[in-house]
Structure 1
Amino acid sequence: MKLENYNVIGVMSGTSLDGVDLAHIQFRIKDKKWDFTILESETIPYDLTWVQTLKTAVDFSQIELEKLNQEYTSLLASIISDFITRHKIENLDAICSHGHTILHQPHNGFTLQIGNLPEIADLVQQTVVCDFRVQDVQLGGQGAPLVPIGDRILFPEYDYCMNLGGFSNVSFEENGTRIAFDISPVNTVLNFYANQFGFDYDDKGQISASGEINEALFNELNNLDFYQQNYPKSLGFEFVKETVLPIIESFEIDITDKMRTFTEHVALQIAQALPNKNGRLLITGGGAYNDFLIERIQFHLPSIQIIIPDNKILEFKEAIIFALLGVLKLRGEINVLSSVTGAETDHSSGNIYQPK
């Protein structure tokens, strides 16, 4: 008999590299309807050495990646254990962890999230459910985005659920099928330029707002092949490093103008990605704090009602949903939708590791 209540921790590290998100969640299911309560949540920032390592790991050799995976698994286990101890959390059903994406090349049948080695269960002395993307890629899918099934189950009152993080992605129902895909880079690019001013990020979009749009750059970005592709489709940091940044850097213009132009590009691509230009749009992720970006999205989608939730859901929605994916895996239920990823079939993805 399946449980009706679950006591779990969701763990997420995103491409914006702001740190490890942890959320202690209680899930309840009754009459096939799920609800949840966030008990404790926090983001543990990476130190500068780890930020630099994770930024450059896309270029690591196989041996370097294996060593990094071991070291990051230890780091993640330490962060999780500290969180459990600090908040005196007991009787957990599982830790549900995404890990951190280093390589994402579904077209080559490959994706790598570090921090998902089996020994993490021994290090935290808890059941760990993790590594949710690999199986989907093996089944011919994109391995991303995985959050949409959580959008459907936990946030059904919204027409669109969008995350603005290192990349933007959206999910919605179309003819009874959940559709989702990555739209464009966001903070992977904006943070890169904010760093050049000595800031971790562009606070409220103030730097971007001070610049001018460069029409030639704007048009070149909007004409990238990725935006013409049909979904399912997903993005990795490789796209930023190999395609987007070289284009922006080829323009000898002020950094503020680069950021202003890119912000407009993000807003336009989001508007073009939504098939129906009205309804309720839930926006979460760090980009939801970028007031100027939200203003530009609203400009391009005047009939959309934009909803930005309370801070806990805004900041920890992905950790909440990866916690749900782990619970669904424990129940042996579908947690990845083929309509979203393009895999051969819906499936229950992830590995379950038990401590020795």
Structure 2
Amino acid sequence: MKEEYYNVIGVMSGTSLDGVDLAHIEFSIINTIWKFKIKETATIPYNKLWIERLKIAVNFSTKALEELNQEYTILLANIINNFIEKNAIVNLDAVCSHGHTILHQPHEGITLQIGNLPDIASLTRQKVVCDFRVKDVQLGGQGAPLVPIGDQLLFSEYDYCMNLGGFSNISFNNDNERIAFDIAPVNTVLNYYANKLGLDYDDKGQIAKEGTINQALLAELNDLDFYRKSFPKSLGFEFVKERVLPIIESYKITIKDKLNTFTEHIAQQTAAALPLKKGSLLITGGGAYNQYLISRINNLLPDLKIIIPAKGILEFKEALIFALLGVLRLKNEINILKSVTGASKNHSSGTIYDF
């Protein structure tokens, strides 16, 4: 019996800007079967200054982005160090960090995740595996989504795995290949309008629930060309800023109605994305707490069993899977699938920094 064990930390910052997720993970691989144990976890929120900087960074000059990258790397290293110290974590094999996406334009060969500078290793005194997207884009891929290899290895009992974060993405098996793609913006838009009401987010979707659908707005959103593209396909904040928000803002309706209409848009695009409207759907990410959104998805997919897992997986699945991607990179095994990203080949992606 062949057995392997890895002690790692997964680190993830999503486009919804709710903070940095950290998860201490123990992996075991016994006869090629992967098992995991989620140990300590934390979400460290950004302060208001960092939230504002990260929101507008898409417009920064090259020099300003370089400065931001350096400062964010220091911030991230401090967060990681505090997490390790607080939980007395020792004998780590690696810290596996996604960083924070600022630019994602794979059709232009561009993707930038800040916080992945070599300094991260010396500042944390840990081996760091990071920058998972760049190689895939160089190989002609979308550089996203990266989670599906984890869905395949760790959550194969579900027919579909969907994350509801800043954007929604889904993965599933199709003819013995893992297929995955981004579906639609989610919290990047919902939180934007909740912020206008002085709230961090729309708790359980209660404000959206009070609104009504604007059918003209819904139709215009559903008509965006992204939804007619075949996979692989992925989204970045540029899509929200340049395409989605201008459409919504052109309608002089209440924020409640905007939230309600966009929630219905998410639900309809989710239903359209699933080739079979039955089976089991695992939903994770902050959007899983949006009860109104879940109810609208459930209403459109009545024959699908929706599973919302316990908090550890619900909130930290992406950190868990970036920990997995890091371990696969350490083993020099495939961690990005060409069937998912559209790259020219399967590959083992990520940069390894030793301190």
Aligned residue number for residue 141 of structure 2: 141
**Residue 243 of structure 1 aligns to a residue in which SS?**
helix
> Are 1:299 and 2:305 an aligned pair?
no
Residue 152 of structure 1 is matched in structure 2 by 152
Distance, in Å, in 1 between the alignment partners of 2:324 and 2:330 is 10
Match of 1:314 in 2: 314
What is the distance in 1 between the residues matched to 2:268 and 2:42?
Answer: 32
> Which residue number in structure 2 is paired with residue 193 of structure 1?
193
Matches within 5 A, 1:336-355: 336-355=336-355
Map 1:249-264 onto structure 2 (within 5 A). 249-264=249-264
Match of 1:86 in 2: 86
Q: Aligned partners of 2:39, 2:254: CA distance in 1, in Å?
A: 45
Whole-angstrom distance in 2 between the partners of 1:39 and 1:264: 36
SS at the partner of 2:161? strand
- Give, in whole Å, the separation in 1 of the partners of 2:327 and 2:32: 14
Cα offsets for 1:288-331 (capped at 9, x unmatched): 00000000000110100000000010000000000000000000
Between the aligned partners of 1:299 and 1:36, the Cα distance in structure 2 is: 33
The equivalent of 1:18 in structure 2 is 18
CA RMSD of aligned residues (A): 0.7
Alignment length (residue pairs):
354
Residues 115-144 of structure 1 show CA distances to partners (whole Å, capped at 9, x for unaligned) of 000110000000000000000000000000
Name the CA distance, whole Å, in 2 between partners of 1:142 and 1:38. Answer: 29
Partner of 1:69: 69
Residues 159 and 279 in structure 2, CA contact (< 8 A), matched pair in contact too? yes
Identity of aligned residues (%): 70
Q: Deviations over 1:255-312 (max 9, x none)?
A: 1000000000000000000000000000000000000000000011010000000001
Cα drift, residue 174 of structure 1: 0.1
Residue identity matched to 1:233? K
Aligned position for 2:45: 45
| Rounded Cα–Cα distance in structure 2 between residues aligned with 1:344 and 1:325 | 19
The CA distance in 1 between the partners of 2:326 and 2:29, in whole Å, is: 14
In the alignment, the residues of structure 1 paired with residue 40 and residue 327 of structure 2 have an alpha-carbon distance, to the nearest angstrom, of 18
Alpha-carbon distance in 1 for matches of 2:96, 2:65: 22
Distance 1:254 1:313 in 2: 35
Measured in 1, the distance between the counterparts of 2:35 and 2:156 equals: 11
Give the corresponding residue for 2:213: 213
Alignment-mate amino acid for residue 347 of structure 1: H
Deviation at 1:99, TM superposition (A): 0.1
Letter of the 2:186 partner, please give it.
V
1:235 corresponding residue in structure 2: 235
Q: Which residue of 2 aligns with 1:282?
A: 282
| 2:184 match | 184
Provide the residue aligned with 1:172 in structure 2: 172
Code of the aligned partner of 1:73:
T
- Is the 2:3–2:31 Cα contact (8 Å) retained in structure 1? no
Q: What residue identity is the alignment partner of 2:66? A: E
Match of 1:131 in 2: 131
1:189-218 residue CA offsets vs partner (Å, 9 max, x unmatched): 000000111110000000000000000000
**8 Å Cα contact 2:103-2:112 kept in structure 1:** yes
- Runs of 4+ with >3 A deviation: none
* CA-CA distance at 1:184 after TM superposition: 0.2
Give the secondary structure class of the aligned counterpart of 1:4: strand
Decide whether the 8 Å contact of 2:58 with 2:103 is kept in 1.
yes
Counterpart secondary structure, 2:120: helix
Q: 1:26: how far off?
A: 0.1
Q: What is the TM-score of this pair, normalised by structure 1?
A: 0.99
Uncovered stretches (5+) of structure 2, i.e. residues with no partner: none
Q: Answer whether contact 2:3 2:30 (CA < 8 A) is retained.
A: no
Matched, 1:114 2:114: yes
The residue type paired with residue 237 of structure 1 is F
Give the match's secondary structure for 2:50: helix
CA positional deviation for 1:3: 6.8
State the one-letter code of the partner of 2:108.
Answer: N
Find the counterpart in structure 2 of residue 329 from structure 1: 329
Aligned to 1:267: 267
